[in-house]
Structure 1
Amino acid sequence: SHWRLPLLTAGAVASGFSAKNDHYRTLVRTGPSAPKLGEFVVTLHGHFNWTARAALLYLDARTDDRPHYFTIEGVFEALQGSNLSVQHQVYAREPGGPEQATHFIR
């Protein structure tokens, strides 16, 4: 919105772009967004009456544009706003990765 022109993008997946403040008020997403994915997951939990908990695992390489982190961010925020106990854990490729993830889920 710096130039007061619309910005059409297939990017801007992260939840932060939903805040239509001074920086993003002319942003138009043409693709999916993390908050919409989060709404879908909350609806899915409600449909199947899943009320106990949710476990979110993601790979966060921190060397790229972090697509997994920003995708799961919308799900995490939406589930946190519902009546679920939500925990998250970064899936690590280091020793203990898959086994640690399996233990976390149980």
Structure 2
Amino acid sequence: MRYKPTALGYLRTDVSGIGQLWDESQIRRLAARLGYDFADMVVYDPVSRRPPLARLRAQTTRLDAEAVIVPSPEHFEGGKVPEALIQQIDVITVHPEETYARWYAPPLRDLPSTGADGA
């Protein structure tokens, strides 16, 4: 049996508006295309008055998720993906399609030469 990493979806109802079902389907579609096992959709409604990321962070921990997929950065406060969330889990946006990874390794061309190749 092959392991598939788990992903969650996250969106804000006030940002998605009437396009919420479309946003949810785009999240699920991207998760499938990237090879994730889609586990849950965390929907934040500002009427609830709970901290917007509290349930998302709890779900990522509970489900041992590798990534959270959102329609766009606008679904986060200030339109920016929170650094604290990126430190916990990879964040992938549908539009524009970008990945904010927990771990960053610089491209090999940026590393200093060791002289092993004769240069």
Shorter-normalised TM range? 0.3 to 0.5
- TM-score, structure 1 length as denominator? 0.37
TM-score by length of 2: 0.34
Which of the two has greater strand per residue? 2
